Amino acid sequence: MTEKTIRSCEDLLNMLDQKFRTPEQFWDPFYTNREKAIPFFKNAPDENLVSYVDRNLIQPGKAMDLGCGPGRNSIYLAKQGFDVVGYDISNVAVQWARDRAEESKLNIRFECKSAFEIEALEQFDLVYDSGCLHHLLPHRRIQYIEMIYRSLKPRSYFGITCFRPGFGDQGGPVREMSDWDVYEEGTMNGGLAFSEEKIKYILEPYFECIEFRAVEQQANEEVFGVPFLWASLWRKKEAEASHL
């Protein structure tokens, strides 16, 4: 029975994980059909990411694309001169991203890893998350934030898009759930919506907010944007100002 005995924090986290389906059970089948009419299947970067580059809020350097999916933001960053590594939990998505990079003759490293398998052995000028956080179980959130913090160079940048509440009729979550709700109901109902207050409560101990706004709806198919997402850009705080 020792395999079901809690002796460490990781044992506790693994026990809580087992109350829910594994991410791979959803994401591998989700990405199998590349022709599916999913807006973010198009090879188009997030409008807010393009805006950060256009306004020189971020400059080319080393970038981590966290939850990269088929690689659309990785490809955009590489074309802007970034040295990019993309991580995703789905082997199917990673292979699609590699195929796209090869077609574009871009040298991008894609790896199939969860946010909790990244060892932060190298440091980045930018970590970008387009839709990873809102699919993480709340008990894994601390690991996620600490990994990003360790992975960033001093005063470097973290960009994130995540679900915004109140847009269930447009593709966002039907309702806003508290972290307590997730465990009481045994589901995240397809992803968690975050209020501006909640996002800032979670991130402000570690990062300084540079910009926070809603993603802008896009008619231009060369960029991706839907109004049920928040977009925010953050800068890593000095160690003495953080909780790490």
Structural domain spans, the chain: 26-241
pLDDT at res. 56: 97
The residues that bridge with 62 in the sheet, in sequence order, are 83
Residue ranges of the chain whose pLDDT lies below 50? 241-242
Q: Could you tell me which residues come within 8 angstroms of residue 101 by beta carbon, excluding any fewer than 6 positions away?
A: 71, 74, 75, 78, 107, 108, 110
Task: Give the pLDDT of residue 38.
Answer: 83
List, in sequence order, every residue forming a beta bridge with 234; answer none if it has no partner: 158, 209
d(CA 231, CA 229): 7
Q: Report the share of the chain in percent with pLDDT over 90.
A: 72
For 137-157, write each residue's pLDDT tens digit: 999 999 999 999 999 999 999
Q: How many angstroms separate the CA atoms of 216 and 226, rounded?
A: 6
Res 1: pLDDT: 59
Per the CATH hierarchy, to which homologous superfamily does domain 26-241 belong?
Answer: Vaccinia Virus protein VP39 (3.40.50.150)
Res 217: pLDDT = 92
Residue 241's pLDDT is 47
Q: Dig out the tokens for 15 from the structure.
A: 């026990």
